[in-house]
A = this chain, B = another copy of it.
Amino acid sequence: MSDLKTKVFLDESDIPTHWYNIVADLPTPPAPHLHPGTQQPLSPDDMTALFPMGLIEQEAATERWIEIPPEVQEIYRLWRPSPLHRARRLEKALGTTARIYYKYEGESPVGSHKTNSAVPQAFYNKVAGKKRLTTETGAGQWGAALAFATQVFGLDCDVFQVRNTYEGKPYRRLLMQVFGASVTPSPSMTTAAGRALNERFPGTTGSLGMAISEAIELAVQDPDASYALGSVLNHVCLHQTIIGQEALKQLAVFGEDVPDYLFACAGGGSNLAGISFPFVRQNLLGHANVKIVACEPAAAPSLTQGEFRYDFGDSSNMTPLLKMYTLGNAFVPDPVHAGGLRYHGMAPLVSHCYHEGLIGAIAVKQREAFEAGTLFARAEGIVPASESSHAIAGAVRQAKQAAEDGTSPVILIGVSGSGQLDLPAFAEYAAGDMLDA
């Protein structure tokens, strides 16, 4: 049977013991975050109103490997290592000569990669004596992940969810509530930022940037509270690097060296960073030549259409200034189904890598994404998240190209989560009713 091997789990003892910090290997240093008032590089003290010291240190860390605390490793073991699959049936369905693999993060407690960062974030806040975390969520994956992680460490959790998904996709809100979190649709009337945004954009369906403003406002008003961000920042990208580290080991079990192509969806950027940074390292070491492709939604194409400049992470100019590809912090994406990708900017570390040519990018419209996601579901028996379907679409393009060219590249897809809670969107696609944004 081994010649038909379909997936590799690894043993729990193969879960990485350290996160990988790409800053240590970058040929040029990324630009520092700036204080929004002074425009000077942010000092650790500037961040203490929002984050605990453990995370502030990681945000500015320069060492290559950062140890994962045992308390975090214990929780990771509930679902990690995540499996790496060979997509044999997808290959056959596409008639491709490519060998396609996918790393699947959908078996986490909330069905996505987000718990990889939620757990350490809750842990460092617990160590710092915090009692409560506030956050934003788009499709609900991050909010659910933080809801799970906070109850693990005995913290309260307040989530502002983009109104579009709060109303249209109630299941992830229910999941947050099962884990004991309090959830408010954003923009709300319970914060000054929310009231101002509702006035400025009457009837808005919300955005991640708006929800971030509300969550930050709540956190700075309460000394026992911190804010937690599910993507974008360096420490979030850092936590996600366990994905790529596991994938490297698992490809070796399949007898593969490194992939020729790596496709991953990119909204705020943490999923892309997590699976790709260990492969960027292989490229920088001269061990490989992996072509890494960020798959962003055509509705929020920060890398392919944005500018590389300092901008705010939120819509109300409350965050530090981040050097990133951005569509401008007033940009409100169309209400596409991939709520987790509806963000105006891109993680500074991902932006830096893109600017330096270490990572490429494509934009994918949602009908192409759902077509690929449906094909994947039927072939592989896994309904992928709306977000992940963008990465699958990129891989499908490449696999078809390989069939035309008669080449046999190795393609790795980062499937960041499960689409079981995105089923209404798949049904809308099947019915032909989907906006092609």
Q: Taking beta carbons and an 8 Å cutoff, which residues of A are in contact with B?
A: 1-2, 4-7, 9, 12-13, 73-75, 77-79, 85, 89, 107-109, 111, 115, 148, 151-152, 170-171, 174-175, 177-180, 374, 377-378, 380-383, 418, 420-421, 423-424, 426-427, 430
Contact = CB atoms under 8 A, between A and B. Distances in A.
B420 A420 contact: yes
Contact of A178 (B13, B109, B178, B430): B430
Given A174-B424, A423-B171, A180 B7 contact: no
A6 B78 contact: yes
Contacts of A423: 171, 174-175, 178
A267 B1 CA distance: 35
Q: Which 5 A/B pairs are nearest by Cβ-Cβ distance?
A: A109-B381, A174-B423, A6-B77, A9-B9, A174-B427
B381 A79 contact: yes
A421 B174 CA distance: 10
26 contacts: A1-B12, A2-B13, A4-B77, A6-B12, A9-B9, A75-B381, A78-B85, A78-B381, A78-B382, A109-B382, A115-B381, A148-B381, A170-B424, A171-B171, A171-B420, A171-B423, A171-B424, A175-B383, A177-B427, A177-B430, A178-B374, A178-B426, A178-B430, A179-B377, A179-B378, A418-B420
Contacts of A171: 171, 420-421, 423-424
Nearest to A424: B174
